[in-house]
Amino acid sequence: MPCKPNVPIKFTLHGLWPSNHSGFEPSFCSQTKLNTGLIVGDLKTRLIAEWPNLNGVDDHFWSYEWDKHGTCSSMPHNPLGYLSLALTIKNKHEILPIFARANIVPHPNKTYTRSLINSTIFGAIHVIPQLSCVFDAKRNSYLLEIRLCLDQTGATFINCNPYNNCGNNIILPL
């Protein structure tokens, strides 16, 4: 499925997922549904800008993320609170300006070492991230996601499990 037009030129939010540190992520924990009709005003504006569905309808994506992950969060009966918390956490650190200060800039084929990306994030946020990449036919590694982990309260960033599927040289695509 192609991406929708006018994709933001910044890192956006994919989700806020609970973890039990065993490698298994709990999912679909309660039957509380997200009434997308209640997403209005500033919250809706922020969600559209920061948590867009890059492949389809925003409301469906937010509902899915709520159903799968939010229902297992520390607020399993407060979908609007969960969405707002996810945005608040995401906006604590903007990744592109952090990268720019280290001269890591999006480019169609320039590579950066995994070590440089990790140390740049560590230098700014003081935690080890998880990196996720996709590969082309030539096995070039393109950064897809940077995952930042939080403690159980959602207030403090912590080191992630150092898993990553990226090679040593990573392209930060445009």
Listing DSSP states for 27-94 in one string gives: -----PPP-GGG--HHHHHHHHHHS--TTS-HHHHHHHHHHHTGGGSS-TT-HHHHHHHHHHHHTT--
- Domains delineated in the chain: 1-91 (3.90.730.10), 95-171 (3.90.730.10)
pLDDT at 137 over 90: yes
Amino acid at 46: R
Give yes or no: 50 in active site.
no
> For residues 9 and 172, which has the higher predicted lDDT (pLDDT)?
172
Give yes or no: 14 in active site.
yes
122-143 average pLDDT score: 93
User: H/E element holding 97?
Assistant: helix 95-101
Q: Categorize the per-residue pLDDT at 24 as very low, low, confident or very high, splitting at 50, 70 and 90.
A: low
Distance between CA atoms of residues 169 and 117, nearest Å:
10
Distance between CA atoms of residues 152 and 136, nearest Å:
36
CA distance from start to end of the chain: 19
Q: Categorize the per-residue pLDDT at 74 as very low, low, confident or very high, splitting at 50, 70 and 90.
A: confident
Q: Categorize the per-residue pLDDT at 8 as very low, low, confident or very high, splitting at 50, 70 and 90.
A: low
Options 14, 50, 93, 145, the catalytic residue? 14
Options 21, 65, 94, 145, the catalytic residue? 65
Angstrom CA distances, 70 to 32, 44, 89, 171, stand at: 10, 17, 14, 31
Options 21, 50, 69, 77, the catalytic residue? 69
pLDDT at 69 over 80: yes
97-120 average pLDDT score: 94
pLDDT at 147 over 90: no
pLDDT, averaged across the chain: 86
pLDDT at 21 over 80: no
Residue 141's beta-bridge partner residues? Answer: 135, 170
Give yes or no: 94 in active site.
no
